Amino acid sequence: MSSCAGPKMQRKDRIWDAISTLMKVFHEHASKDSSEGKGKDRFKLSKRELKELMQTDFDFDNAQDPAKIEEMMKELDKDGDRQLDFREFVDFVVTIACAFNKIHEVEDSE
C-alpha cells in the first residue's frame, strides 16, 4: 500500500463526510410529506418538515413556536415557492457556520 494513502485520504473524506451528512439530513426530512402520501415535493422541505428538522437535528429552542418557523421559512425561501430546496437549506447552514466561525475567531484571538 502506498504511504500517502493513510492520513491524506482521511482528510479528504472529512469534507465529503460533511457534505454527505448535510444531504442525508436534508433528504431524510424532505421526503417525509411525500412518503406519508401528502403529495409534496420529496426533494424540498415543507414548513412542517423544516420544523421537524429544527427540532431533531438543530435542537432549535423556538422550533415549537409556529410564528418563529413561519418567519424562518419566509427568510430562507428565496424563490418564494413556500418550500426549501437543498440550495436554500445549505445557504442557511452556511450562515450558521459563518456565525460560529466568527465566534471561534474572536475567542481564539483573545
Binding site for Ca ion (CB under 5 A): 77, 79, 81
Q: How far is the CB of 90 from Ca ion (least distance, A)?
A: 12
Between 81 and 105, whose beta carbon lies closer to Ca ion?
Answer: 81
CA distance 100 to 57: 16
Q: How far is the CB of 45 from Ca ion (least distance, A)?
A: 9
Q: How far is the CB of 106 from Ca ion (least distance, A)?
A: 33
Between 17 and 75, whose beta carbon lies closer to Ca ion?
Answer: 75
Helix (H, G, I), strand (E, B) or coil at 45: strand
> Between the CA of residue 18 and those of 4, 7, 71, 89, 101, what are the distances in Å?
22, 17, 27, 14, 16
Strands (E), 46-89: none
Dig out the grid coordinates for 100 from the structure. Answer: 460560529
Between 23 and 103, whose beta carbon lies closer to Ca ion?
Answer: 23
